[in-house]
């Protein structure tokens, strides 16, 4: 029986290969499809590893620091810790019950792939919390607040880099901002203010609520560090009649790539439109002073606009860690 099924599988594979070859249009399309599969597989593996690291980091922060002391965090995780403190129910079960409705809501708001990854990451976090024993590291309240927030924030940030979330606060904020006309940041702030006001009544001392605010601050900054990276990139637009000299300076002196695109100025005081070339480049914030100096030496009247760049890929900029 086994050889029979093997022959069927081989024949089916040959048929699918021939069909994909015909539909793809030739060897070139097959190579493109193969490359696409390799890239997709690499991103899937990378996302899985990041989410796994995020799950264990968040679980370590919760079980080794926050749970033994009774501190809480902001967001859905903070609500889960408060409910656990007030009711004594399993934290794993509470995390699933509170987060899953928001993740299901994400199917329509964000996308199915994101929602599925988030469900897997939240279930993974609940499983690790329930089955893995982490040691209690310290009883010092300040150290608990700082390092508990750090490991929890690192877990959330790594999961976000992997294309998922461990906390449904952002999803709730997106929906509430559309309904209430507020920004997502405003919704998150209001949401966390409510959590910490509730913590004052649930936690045994106001001191615990204050330490919990420190935990939230450390966690949020750690998330920013993990998601955005240690370096802050600046996009610089330079308008000058000496654009060619500036272009060569950026390439040769700073070692950065540039983009040149044509533009037309307003009528202004001259009474007619003026055509010129615009130089655009991306640098790190540590290079701003040097760029200004070099541009001033070429054209003191050059017009420069600088904007923060949240994320980049490729080009002549050094890649970030975990990118």
Question: Residue 195 above 50 pLDDT?
Answer: yes
Please report the pLDDT score of residue 85 as a whole number: 80
3 state SS of 176: helix
pTM over 0.75? The answer is no
Q: Which of 228, 254, 288 is the last residue of a domain?
A: 228
CATH of the domain at 282: 3.30.70.120
| DSSP one-letter string for 186-243 | HHHHHHHHHHHHHHHHHSS-HHHHHHHHHHHHHHHHHHHHHHH-SS-EEEEEEE-TTH
Assess whether 84 and 213 both reside in one domain. yes
Same domain, residue pair 195 and 99: yes
In a domain, 275, yes or no: yes
Same domain, 205 and 246: no
DSSP tag of 316: T
Average pLDDT over residues 184-189: 65
In angstroms, the first-to-last Cα distance of the chain is: 49
Whether residue 135 lies inside any domain: the answer is yes
Q: Answer yes or no: do 85 and 133 share one domain.
A: yes
Which domain range does residue 49 map to? 43-228
Strand partners, 190: none
Among 228, 246, 277, the domain-final residue is 228
Place of tokens 């809501």: 105
Quick one: pLDDT at residue 67? 85
The verdict on 168 and 60 lying in the same domain is yes
Q: Give the pLDDT of residue 10.
A: 45
Q: pLDDT tens-digit profile of 19-76?
A: 444 444 455 566 666 666 766 777 788 888 999 999 999 999 988 998 888 888 778 8
The residue with greater pLDDT, 239 or 285, is 239
Q: Are 70 and 214 in contact (CB under 8 A)?
A: no
| Average pLDDT of the residues of the chain | 77
Determine the Cα–Cα distance for residues 19 and 235; give it in Å rounded to an integer: 47
Residue 8 lies in a domain: no
> How many domains in the chain?
2
Same domain flag for 183 and 198:
yes
Residues 6+ apart with CB under 8 A from 163: 47, 51, 113, 114, 117
Instruction: Give a yes or no: residue 28 inside a domain.
Output: no
Amino acid 108: pLDDT:
73
**In this model, does residue 208 exceed pLDDT 70?**
yes
pLDDT, tens digit (0-9, with 9 covering 90-100), for 307-316: 877 666 665 5
- One domain for residues 204 and 248: no
Which of the residue ranges 7-11, 179-183, 289-293, 314-318 would you say has the lowest mean pLDDT?
7-11
The stretch 118-126 carries a mean pLDDT of: 88
Instruction: Report the C-alpha dihedral over residues 204, 205, 210, 214, rounded to 10 degrees.
Output: -50
User: Using an 8 Å Cβ cutoff, are 166 and 55 in contact?
Assistant: yes
Does residue 38 sit within a domain? no
């Amino acid at each position: 029986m086994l050889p029979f099924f093997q022959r069927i599988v081989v024949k089916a594979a040959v048929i699918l290969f021939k069909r994909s070859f015909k539909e793809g249009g030739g060897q070139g399309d097959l190579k493109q499809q193969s490359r696409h599969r390799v890239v997709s597989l690499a991103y899937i593996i990378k996302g899985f590893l990041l989410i796994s690291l995020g799950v264990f980091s968040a679980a370590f922060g919760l079980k080794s620091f926050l749970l033994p002391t009774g501190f809480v965090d902001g967001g859905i995780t903070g609500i889960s810790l408060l409910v656990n403190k007030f009711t004594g129910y399993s934290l794993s079960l509470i995390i699933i019950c509170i987060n899953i409705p928001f993740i299901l809501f994400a199917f329509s708001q964000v996308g199915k792939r994101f929602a599925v990854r988030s469900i897997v990451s939240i279930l993974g976090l609940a499983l690790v919390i329930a089955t893995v024993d982490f040691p209690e590291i310290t009883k010092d309240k300040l150290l608990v607040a700082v390092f508990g927030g750090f490991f929890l924030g690192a877990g959330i940030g790594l999961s976000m880099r992997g294309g998922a979330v461990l906390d449904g606060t952002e999803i709730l904020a997106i929906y509430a901002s559309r309904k209430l006309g507020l920004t997502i940041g405003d919704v998150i702030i209001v949401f966390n203010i409510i959590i910490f006001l509730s913590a004052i009544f649930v936690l045994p001392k106001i001191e615990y609520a204050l330490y919990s605010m420190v935990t939230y601050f450390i966690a949020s900054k750690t998330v920013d560090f993990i998601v955005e990276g240690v370096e802050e990139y600046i996009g610089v637009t330079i308008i000058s009649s000496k654009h060619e000299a500036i272009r060569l300076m950026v390439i040769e002196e700073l070692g950065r790539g540039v983009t040149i695109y044509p533009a037309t100025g307003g009528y202004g005081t001259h009474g007619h439109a003026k055509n010129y070339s615009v130089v655009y480049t991306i640098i790190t914030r540590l290079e701003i002073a040097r760029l200004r100096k070099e541009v001033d030496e070429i054209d003191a009247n050059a017009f420069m606009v600088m904007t923060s760049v949240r994320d980049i890929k490729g080009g002549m900029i050094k890649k970030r860690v975990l990118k």
